[in-house]
Structure 1
């Protein structure tokens, strides 16, 4: 390793070490959120949606959006570890977008909402009423 370091330019070594040091110092100042990063179930059924070819969509992944199945920015305050799933429709079509937020084929429904985990769960709007 010392042979490799001796071949490197000292300015490059200094700047690399400085950037690593700055990164490690800035990481210690990061505030960690105590908000959950797991999606809540918005619906136990998928949403039937008409997509327009070439249009960009933001599918809600957190389950808190009031504009389901699309994102309204609720994750910024209620689920900061999550972000919307962005996609562009390839063609005009009618699709079923996941409402339970646990699909393995984002953003499309794959039938996960039929599992016991989803059918027995509390919906996001029901849990909001309790808090």
Structure 2
């Protein structure tokens, strides 16, 4: 697989916690979207780690086409 699978054509709104590391799924195959469950093993994709320094809401990319991994950049609304 050279292109990621798009599990949804919209971002995932997630409340993240200070000092917690998150692993964003970049392949789109994870059953625990938007987070990695290891489904990419043996492929070209790797999870993207994200460590936050505060409690807040973020928008993780759901289409997997973002240029600013792991965050949504609106790529899902572009042709």
The TM-score bracket by the shorter chain reads over 0.9
Query: How far apart, CA to CA, are the structure 1 residues paired with 2:49 and 2:62?
Result: 16
For 2:44, which of 62, 81, 97 is the aligned residue? 81
Query: How far apart, CA to CA, are the structure 2 residues paired with 1:69 and 1:37?
Result: 19
For 2:62, which of 99, 122, 131 is the aligned residue? 99
Structure 1 regions of 5+ residues with no counterpart?
Answer: 1-35, 117-131
Larger Rg: 1
| TM-score of the aligned structures, taking structure 1 as reference length | 0.58
Query: How far apart, CA to CA, are the structure 1 residues paired with 2:24 and 2:10?
Result: 15
Query: How far apart, CA to CA, are the structure 1 residues paired with 2:3 and 2:19?
Result: 30
Query: How far apart, CA to CA, are the structure 2 residues paired with 1:110 and 1:81?
Result: 22
Q: CA deviation at 1:37?
A: 2.8
Query: How far apart, CA to CA, are the structure 2 residues paired with 1:39 and 1:47?
Result: 16
Structure 1 or 2: more helix by fraction: 1
RMSD: 1.0
| TM-score of the aligned structures, taking structure 2 as reference length | 0.94
Task: List, as ranges, runs of 4+ consecutive aligned residues in structure 1 with deviation greater than 6 Å.
Answer: none
